Amino acid sequence: MFNKELFEIAKNVSKKAYAPYSNYKVGAAIRTKNGKIFSGCNVENSSYGLTNCAERTAIFKAVSEGEKEFEEILIYSNSGKMPFPCGACRQVISEFGDEIKITISSNEKIVESSIKKLLPSKFEL
């Protein structure tokens, strides 16, 4: 079921994105199993490889606060293009469980999935 609270948080934080090169602003909100919510936006860099996506920003903030068990992440952009997580973000999300629900939204369009569906063969050591 669509989580309106995560949607609003991700939408609001997307406005804080630092995206001077692509102008593609993304926000993410992740909910832990104990109900805490962390948000993040994308932060670009002129050396593109140093850019950090919204999903990883939110996850890294949560982990830095001691949270490692997640239920759902919502990723938002108002660009009209669905902000599906990149490969690096899919791998990072999968590190914390195969059943994490993923909701992708652009404006009013919504796609619900899971990390297991988006990354069926993750890298593992």
Q: Is residue 52 part of a domain?
A: yes
Residue-level pLDDT at 2:
77
CA distances from 83 to 52, 63, 66, 125 (A): 14, 22, 27, 28
Residue ranges making up the domain that contains 9: 4-118
CATH number of 43's domain: 3.40.140.10
CA distance 76 to 11: 6
Calpha distance 31→87 (Å, rounded):
21
Cβ-based burial of 110 (10 A; exposed 0-12, middle 13-18, buried ≥19): middle
Specify the pLDDT at position 101: 97
Task: Identify the bridge partners of residue 101 per DSSP, sorted by sequence position.
Answer: 72, 114
Please identify every residue annotated as catalytic: 55
87-94 vs 54-64: helix axis angle to the nearest 10?
Answer: 30
Alpha-carbon span 123 to 73, nearest angstrom: 20
pLDDT of residue 108: 80
What pLDDT is stored for residue 107 in this prediction? 82
Q: How many domains does the chain have?
A: 1
- Segments in the chain below pLDDT 70: none
